[in-house]
Amino acid sequence: MIDDCPLCKKTTEALAGNNPSLVRDFGKSLLFLGDHQYFRGACVLVWKGHVREPHELSEADQQMMTRDLLRAGKAVQEALRPWKLNYSCFGNLVPHLHWHIFPRYESDPDRLEHPWLHSSEFPKHPTTDADRAELLPRLRSHL
């Protein structure tokens, strides 16, 4: 864990039971309901250890990360039935291995564009307690 890494902090808090947005602990990664719900059901899969790049993982951990990501995506698909899922792993702002899972709906503005097109709008749609009360049980029921 790195002291100044926000995802290391988020992981530590979740493992201590102090993150209400935790969907599932997969063992080596954690699935969270995203901090914003601009795209309803947006989630983030975070690798527990502080790693910057997927290739830094052992081959077994690479396979586990892929398995966890696919399980998380399938749960989002089954729980919310979006038109499409977008997966994003950049780490430019927070260099800790994590994947954003964005459900996209036919009603989305610019649904054929990348989800970051509207990133300036994300802070206007913070995840609320009501969002967690609705979405967490739906997502968990498919994991």
Q: What is the pLDDT of residues 80-100, one digit of tens each?
A: 999 999 999 999 999 999 999
Quote the pLDDT of residue 1. Answer: 72
Question: What is the mean pLDDT of the segment spanning 13-32?
Answer: 97
Residue 57 domain boundaries:
6-140
CA nearest to 108, candidates 41, 34, 38: 38
pLDDT surpassing 80 at residue 29? yes
CATH code (residue 121) = 3.30.428.10
Does a structural domain hold residue 1?
Answer: no
Provide the pLDDT for residue 3: 80
- Give the pLDDT of residue 65: 97
41: alpha, beta or left, given left = phi > 0 and alpha = psi -120 to 50?
left
116 within a domain of the structure (yes/no): yes
Distances (CA, A) of 81 to 11, 71, 76: 28, 15, 7
Averaged confidence pLDDT in the chain: 96
If one counts the domains in the chain, the total is: 1
